[in-house]
Amino acid sequence: MKPETIAALIDRVADVRILREHHVWAAAEIFGFDDLDSTMRRKFRALMEADALLDAVLSLAASADPPRSVGNVRNQRGHWVCTVRCDAAGNRRTATAEHADFAAAVLASLLASLQQPTVAHRHRPPSHQHDGSSSHEHQRHAQ
């Protein structure tokens, strides 16, 4: 896993209005899709073919080593805030991301959970649009 690849994908997801299939496939590469057992690969492919991007992202979280889980999701002023938990050898970490698209918020927080703590503390200040139009992603951070 290359941290710059993770950071680049987080930035790409941050810059889109909604999560797209190619973002999830890129995340699958980061998570070592080819190293997953054949049952997990088939399940993931079936989810992607069904355009079930959120379910595919959640299957990546479950197959990560150590596994990740969504700890909290809330909608805050029209943006989804998702926290992913990772319990590794007694060391519990969380990563949080915010995005206007629910699946993108989950993927961004999942990717942030893979970063080294010093890298994951990067923060992008929110840019709010007051005209009622949909804005894309805003902030992310890891704790």
Residue 143's pLDDT is 43
CA dist 134 and 143 (Å) reads 27
Residue 23's pLDDT is 97
Residue 132's pLDDT is 40
Residue 7's pLDDT is 93
Residue 117's pLDDT is 62
Residue ranges of the chain with per-residue pLDDT less than 70: 1-4, 116-143
Residue 12's pLDDT is 96
Residue 37's pLDDT is 84
Residue 116's pLDDT is 65
For 47-90, list the strands marked E by DSSP.
68-76, 79-88
Are 47 and 59 in contact by the 8 Å Cβ rule? The answer is yes
**N- to C-terminal Cα separation, the chain:** 20
